Every structure is written in structure tokens, then in C-alpha cells.
Structure 1
């Protein structure tokens, strides 16, 4: 009688000879033989991966877990497969199932905490990361670093985040990630000297840390001597830097440095290179997809007939183009004792955007109690004893009807800015996949035009609750502009334009340092410094005419 091991050897011979189907058939038969099942399943898994059949690979991985329940490597592999398909809930369930059998497995608990953090399941993330810090010396400081992010980003508890990171640094003074994360928090807090010290701490540990050097550019105002010194150090790093993201970071930083000293030609060159690197890894801006999103939004019923989520909280939605003054307005409103700053709440966009093209699925989602409770909890987390809380996520302009159905008293502030300055300001920032239009001025104009179409649509239904705030008017006539805005919101204006920059709150957008200064108007008309370069980039005839005016 031929043994399982002998049959396994025959199956391997088939595979080596290129006879894949015969090899697979024999391996499937061998999965029923307990003595060689694990080896057979492992080979079947490898075949599925080589054939890029992810679903089949998941199946065999599940079979391996069933037959070898104690081996975490199989669970970890399955989790990675789920994540490759953005199946976060299945990945989390796989880890939870393993921990139900092996509750003291700290690696599994750490992976679950990190994954829950990425999926915005804050309670789950906190529970498991805390457990690791209390039970595992080996993984304690990794868990504390991750826990700091949970506190700062998901709980808005920056004090606890700082305490976690300081504990890590005290035990591991060379922990680069802890120093870097601490610098981020200090920067959001507006503590410039502390942020600089933390970034320099990173560079003292790793002088080739490109991102830390790039981030320091925003913390200084350069003169010609310091600009050239910064350029020399950056170019030395760029000679060996192979990561396109970091190359983009350094080129954006160099653009900012030479803009400081009014060397606009050199600044433009660096900004252009930065955007070319950014385009390499960002998804390409799809104008047809934006056209479809606009069409679906315009065709959606504006009345959701949803019962209000709460009478105790009312959101103030701040939307409009990125870099049009939304963070500035939020800071001004937050200096009023009746308003809390919510920042960019991701909830609505993350829940709804993938459903925009499916009207029934979209309506089913927004009418669910789970959805309305989820958004309300995000607002409540940030409300800080006020009934008004801002949400300045840029993409919220797509969901004004949803917001008004949940919160009939919600007010919308639509920030606008001279598109010539607005498009240039976005072009000068290293932005993420949701703002990929910013890497090309023509795409930015396209995106702006579609926002304007949707704005006009909402104004047909909610005109009394939409306030257009012109950035250039605000910086020239702040008192008159803000008195009108505060009246629109039902608030008393008390000179907030003079005090907003003194706040010690946290700001996590690209405008973090601009809103720490008193109002200034030097950004209006900034495009004139770059006019010759912009004209060469523009395809749109109407926009070319606008540049000549």
C-alpha cells in the first residue's frame, strides 16, 4: 500500500514537471490524510497564490487553521489575505477566534489592536493594546506607541497619547517612531519648539530620516543662508532616497524653503518635481469618475425622511475646496465658547462614498439607526460641553442632504477662495489619495467646477442654511464678514478674529501653523508670483483668460 508521504512525493513530482492539475488533484486527496494534510494544504495554498487565486488561497488557509489551530502564522497569513481585499471585519474576526482559543497570545493581541485601530474600532483597539502593555515586556513599547495613536486620533485624548510616548522614550531613547509621533502631536498642539526638538531627536538617531527633515521645513522661516544649507542636506539625502513618497516630501519642503526667500523660479521647480513624484503612487485623478459622482449626487432624492439623530447636538458643516480657509474658520468659531472644533471627521465619507452610485444601498445605509448613532457618537466625542460642533471634512459637500435629514438645524459654511490662489495652494501641499486632483492644476479646476455644480444644487433646497464665506473678503474685512457669519449661526460675535490664533487646541491639517498667526492677507494674489509657470500648465481656455485678468 502506498503511504501518504509517497503520494505527496508523487504530487511534488507532478508540480515540478509542470503538471499542475494532476498535482493538485493528488494533493486534494491527501488533505484527508491526517499525517500529511498540513503539507498538502500548504502546497495547495502556494499554488493558489502563484495563480493569483486569492479566494482559493483563503480557503486553504482556513483549512490549515482548522487542522493546526495553534499555529498563529496561518492566522496571520489569512488576515493579510483579508486585508488585501479590504475585508477588515473578517480579518478582525479571524484574530478574535484565535484569541478565544489562545487568550494569552500577545502577538495575536497586538495585531488585533493595531488592526482595530486602522478600522477605527477604538474600544477594541484600546482593550487589546492595553492588555499587551500589561502582559508582554517584549511587545510592550510597540503596543504603547500604537496606543498613543488610538488615544490621539480616535479618542482625541492627546494628554494620554503624550504620556504613552514619553514612557516609550524613557525606556527606549532611540525609538524613532515614538519621537516622531510625539513631534506630530506637539505640532498639532502648536508647540513649535517642542515639535522641532522632537524632529531633531529623530535626526540625531537617524541623520538620513528624510521625513523628519522634510517636516522641519514647515517649522522655520528661511533666509538665503539657511535655505541653501537646507537644500544641500536635502539633496544629499535625495541622492540615495528610493522611496517616491519621501522624495515627494523633500521636494515639497524645498519648494516651501525657496518660496520663503522669494526665489519663485526655484520653488516652482521643486514643487513641480514633488507633484511628479506624488503622481507616481497616488491613484490617477479620474475625471469620468468625478462626473459620475456628481451625476449620482444630483439625481439622489434630497429628502431622506430620517428621524433626527439628536436634539442636543447640532453640527456646523464646513466644506469647500481644500486650502480655501476651512481650518481658519473652524479656529475662529472654536474660539467662541458656544462651539467645539470637531476637525475632519471621517465618518460620513468613509461610510457613504462607496455607496454613492447605488441609490438603494445608499438610502438603506443612511436610514439605519446604526449609521445615525455612529455619526452622533463622533460629534459627541468632540463636543466638549457645547451643543454646536464643527465638522470640516472636505468631502461632506456630497452629503448635505443626509446631514440635513439627521440634523434639520445643521448649518453649512461653504468656504471659497480665488481659485487661482486656491489651486496653487493645493499644488504646494503633499496631499493624500482623496485629494489627488491637487497634483495637476487642470484637475484641480475640474474638481472645483464640479463642487460648484453640487453647491448650486443644494442651494435649491437648503439655501437659507448655506453660507458662502469668501476667504479674501474675510482677511480684508474680518469684523464685517464674521458678524454676518455669526448672525447666520445664531451666535454673538465677540471679536474672535483677534483671539483665535492664541488657542492651545489641536489642529491636524496642513494649515496648522497658518492658524496660529493673526489674520493676514499676503496669501491673496499669491498666484501672481508664479503666473508665468502656471500659464504653461493650463489647458482650460476660460482659466487662461482668468489668469490674464
Structure 2
């Protein structure tokens, strides 16, 4: 971005760099409302507005950006990607499909965006059609690999499947940086065939390539967890100022990835009083002013002269961001990753919030995480030892927060939920203050976008097939159990 000193967009960027989200948002919203002559810089306004969670301003700015050159593919891709990022997946598909006949030339990226959107909506046939078109048109190996990865999640492979041969052939031509995603797709194929040894080695190759690019800082992560547990005690939290924000709109679903969090999200989102949810990442946006989430950061903010007002601002900002994304009515499920580290702060800002913490067999969680190519990139998932360390820290956080907030946190064992869903669904609804509703065990029929690696699983009726899958890979999981702890005999 190139700005003059008096440029309001530059001022917004500087305010955000100084952790002043509210100040930056005020400037961006005013720019969108005034419809000034920003020309191509409307794209920058849209990106910043999306980062700030200001959905209305982001959509307004992006529409103006596209209108400057309505037949430009890059702008249309940016528009579709932003809509999907903000949770408007159906809108992203509609807008991009409408552009296809007007595109200057066929473009693999347009079909990949549409195919990914259909996959998130559970419309498998349409997703596969566009993803295969993306592969046929693609001149970018990385896009091709990610398209194959999405296809692999949507289907079950059988012996002699031509898709396996196609991926194996492609793998010989890819460099290390692109190969990782394709190897996860091939690992899924070999797993479907029952070839666990080959599947595991393929996953492991993909993980090693990813880890080489961005290794996990296990020591730093553990230090932060140590600080949280030592610093956020009952006495320390009691000294923090109250916010006065009494909303219970958000329902926070916690737990390791692949522990059933998306399953509970889908069950809740099927309720008439819940509008939607997902990995929102809005609480961290609302609390940008903190600058950090260690106990020292919280104490520093709490005892500023405007400390009490700051906590109230955080709560009001989070609720505003929910309104921006979902409208003003209905409960919302927030299952943002890493919220397990911020439970104390969340509870302080939103004291009436309800938490659901999913717990699942460590072996099944570890195996599923190791076999998942997470879109956002979870560096701890690329090594069985790192998974073991991360899960051990998550266990410590669970014990800590459960002792501090026993009334706010409901523990839900995954195995019990899928084996006998009705009693647990009733307990979840009661804990969240939602009226009982029949038919929530048919959550797989709910039409909504699911933007996680569990998207295909929650389109299936509730079942117990995923229980004890780790035992097929027990010998391969030895490094995990050596780090985390041995499995039960």
C-alpha cells in the first residue's frame, strides 16, 4: 500500500499497528459510508475491513473495487475469496459462477473457488465437477495439489481408482514445497484401501515437508501454557475489573481439532435459536488492544486508569462483530482454535458465556490430527512428538479451567455422544440455556457451510465408526504415546 501522510487509510493502518482496533475500524467504516474516490485502493479498504471484522464495510468496499474493472478475474477472485472468508460461502459461489461466462479466459482458480465452496456446503457432485475442472485447467502445481486434497476428502477410494494413478504421476513432478498437500491426499487414498503402512509413510512424508518449512516452537508454546496456568488463578481473576457485559449470545466450543468440536457445532447450528458458527477468530480481533494474552498483558490492561472501561469495550466489540457477521439475533457457536488458552480472558469479558469442552480418545485425536492437512497450518500437527506435547498441554489447560469455572464448562466425551446422542444433546442444550428441540440428531441434513477438515464427516448421520481407529496404526503411533503417555492396555 502507498499512502500519503494525510491519507485516512494510512491512518487506519497505523492505528491497527498500534493495537487500536476501534480507531482503525472507525476510519474504515467512515470511508465506506462516504463513498470517496479511492479507485483501486477500495481493495485495500476491503482487506483491512475484513481483518477488523467489519463485514458491512468490507463488502461495500470490495463491490466498489470490483466495479472499477468488472471483467477482471483477479478482482472477482478477491471478491469470492473474501465472501467465503466472511462466512458467505453460498454468495461466493453465486458471484463467481455468474462471472464464469464473462471471464476473459477459463481460469482454474475460479473453478477451485467454486468447488471448494460446494464442498463446504456438502454438495459433493457439484464440488467434484468444479475441482476436476480446476485440475484440468491449472497451470499452478500448488493449486492442483490442493484441489486433489479437497477431492480426496470428498470420496472414498477403491482399488484401481484412476485418481490414485493420476496423483501418483503428479507427485513425481512436484517440488517439495508443493508436494506436501498432495501427499496428504495420497495418504487418504491408501488409508481407504486399507494399506496402513503405505498410508502412514505417505502422511509422514507430507508432514516432514511441511515441518521443514515451519517447525513448531514446542518450548515456547509450553512456556505460554505454564504462564497461563500459574498466572490465571482464582485470586488473580477476582482482582480484574468486571465488564458489565451480560450477554450469553456466544457458545464457545473447545477441544482439540478432530475431537468432535465440529460435530457439536453442527448439532447446535441445527437448533432454531442458533444462527450459525464456526472458527470465527473474532474474540482476538475484539481484544486487539490487549496486545497479548499472557497474564502480564492482562494485568497491565486491567490496572490502567481506563481498565474497567477497556474490558467493557472488549465485550461490546465482540458482540458488535457477531452482529456484523450474523445479524443481531440468534445464538452463535464460536469454535475458534486456541481459545483453550484464553478461557480466563473470555470468561472475564463475557461472564455469562457457556463453554462446551470436547474430550476424545487421545489415540484417535492424535491419528486424525496427523492425517489432516489443516488449511490454516497447525505446526504442532506435523510431528507425532509435537502432537503429544501439544495434547499434554491441552490436558493441563482443561484441568485448570474446569476447576476454575466448573459451572460454565460442560465436558462432553465424544465416544458417549456418538454412542447415545439424545441424552448428551439434551445436556448440551440445557447447559447453553436453549429449549429442547426434537430432531437435532439429524444434524447432517442441516444446510450450511462447514469450513473445517471435518466438513464431509458432519454430512453423515451420527455413528461410532471413528472410535478406536488409532488401533490400526498403533505401531506407527509409538512416538506419540512415548511423548504423551502410553495407551490403556
**TM-score under structure 1 length normalisation:** 0.75
Show CA shifts across 1:416-442 (max 9, x none).
100011111100111266632111222
**What is the rounded CA distance, in whole Å, between the counterparts of 2:357 and 2:435 in structure 1?**
20
Give how far 1:369 is off.
4.3
**What is the rounded CA distance, in whole Å, between the counterparts of 1:212 and 1:420 in structure 2?**
29
Aligned ranges 1:529-544 → 2 under 5 Å: 529-535=472-478, 538-540=481-483, 543=485
Give how far 1:383 is off.
5.0
Aligned ranges 1:104-253 → 2 under 5 Å: 106-118=39-51, 120-137=53-70, 139=72, 141-154=73-86, 156-172=87-103, 174-206=106-138, 209-226=144-161, 229-242=162-175, 244=177, 246-253=178-185
- Retained in 1: the 8 A contact 2:83–2:92? yes
**What is the rounded CA distance, in whole Å, between the counterparts of 2:269 and 2:95 in structure 1?**
27
**What is the rounded CA distance, in whole Å, between the counterparts of 2:291 and 2:153 in structure 1?**
32
| Corresponding residue number in structure 2 for 1:315 | 250
Show CA shifts across 1:87-123 (max 9, x none).
9999999999xx9xxx756443334434544554544
Q: How many residues align?
A: 467
**What is the rounded CA distance, in whole Å, between the counterparts of 2:71 and 2:101 in structure 1?**
16
Q: Are the structure 2 counterparts of residues 513 and 366 from structure 1 closer, same or farther at C-alpha, using a change threshold of 3 Å?
A: farther
- Retained in 2: the 8 A contact 1:497–1:519? no
- Retained in 2: the 8 A contact 1:325–1:471? yes
- Retained in 2: the 8 A contact 1:411–1:466? yes
1:333 aligns with 2:272: no
Show CA shifts across 1:278-303 (max 9, x none).
10222423224322333235413324
Give how far 1:216 is off.
1.0
Aligned ranges 1:59-78 → 2 under 5 Å: none
| Corresponding residue number in structure 2 for 1:36 | none
- Retained in 2: the 8 A contact 1:106–1:136? no
Q: Are the structure 2 counterparts of residues 118 and 283 from structure 1 closer, same or farther at C-alpha, using a change threshold of 3 Å?
A: farther
Q: Are the structure 2 counterparts of residues 273 and 486 from structure 1 closer, same or farther at C-alpha, using a change threshold of 3 Å?
A: same
Rg larger in 1 or in 2? 1
Q: Are the structure 2 counterparts of residues 386 and 438 from structure 1 closer, same or farther at C-alpha, using a change threshold of 3 Å?
A: same
**TM-score under structure 2 length normalisation:** 0.84
**What is the rounded CA distance, in whole Å, between the counterparts of 2:443 and 2:367 in structure 1?**
25
1:440 aligns with 2:383: yes
Show CA shifts across 1:356-385 (max 9, x none).
252334545993444222211233345567
1:264 aligns with 2:264: no
**What is the rounded CA distance, in whole Å, between the counterparts of 1:190 and 1:445 in structure 2?**
32
- State the secondary structure of the residue aligned to 2:357: strand
Unaligned runs of 5+ in 2: none
Q: Are the structure 2 counterparts of residues 409 and 537 from structure 1 closer, same or farther at C-alpha, using a change threshold of 3 Å?
A: closer
Q: Are the structure 2 counterparts of residues 104 and 495 from structure 1 closer, same or farther at C-alpha, using a change threshold of 3 Å?
A: closer
Give how far 1:314 is off.
2.2
- State the secondary structure of the residue aligned to 1:331: helix
Give how far 1:506 is off.
1.1
Give how far 1:223 is off.
0.7
- Retained in 2: the 8 A contact 1:223–1:260? yes
Higher relative contact order (CA 8 A, sep 6+): 2
- Retained in 2: the 8 A contact 1:221–1:257? yes
**What is the rounded CA distance, in whole Å, between the counterparts of 2:301 and 2:176 in structure 1?**
38
Aligned ranges 1:340-419 → 2 under 5 Å: 340-350=275-285, 351=287, 354-356=292-294, 357-363=296-302, 364=307, 367-381=310-324, 383=326, 386-419=329-362
Give how far 1:255 is off.
0.8
Show CA shifts across 1:390-449 (max 9, x none).
111131122223332333322111001000111111001112666321112222222222
**What is the rounded CA distance, in whole Å, between the counterparts of 1:391 and 1:468 in structure 2?**
16
Q: Are the structure 2 counterparts of residues 432 and 402 from structure 1 closer, same or farther at C-alpha, using a change threshold of 3 Å?
A: same
- State the secondary structure of the residue aligned to 1:151: helix
Q: Are the structure 2 counterparts of residues 199 and 437 from structure 1 closer, same or farther at C-alpha, using a change threshold of 3 Å?
A: same
Q: Are the structure 2 counterparts of residues 537 and 404 from structure 1 closer, same or farther at C-alpha, using a change threshold of 3 Å?
A: closer
1:501 aligns with 2:444: yes
- State the secondary structure of the residue aligned to 1:341: strand
How much is the aligned-residue C-alpha RMSD, in angstroms? 3.7
Q: Are the structure 2 counterparts of residues 492 and 149 from structure 1 closer, same or farther at C-alpha, using a change threshold of 3 Å?
A: same
1:305 aligns with 2:246: no
- Retained in 1: the 8 A contact 2:481–2:487? no
**What is the rounded CA distance, in whole Å, between the counterparts of 2:340 and 2:210 in structure 1?**
25
**What is the rounded CA distance, in whole Å, between the counterparts of 1:125 and 1:319 in structure 2?**
29
Give how far 1:150 is off.
2.7
Instruction: Tell me which moved more, 524-533 or 380-389.
Output: 380-389
Q: Are the structure 2 counterparts of residues 408 and 496 from structure 1 closer, same or farther at C-alpha, using a change threshold of 3 Å?
A: farther
**What is the rounded CA distance, in whole Å, between the counterparts of 1:86 and 1:241 in structure 2?**
41
- State the secondary structure of the residue aligned to 1:359: helix
**What is the rounded CA distance, in whole Å, between the counterparts of 2:262 and 2:159 in structure 1?**
30
**What is the rounded CA distance, in whole Å, between the counterparts of 1:88 and 1:404 in structure 2?**
22
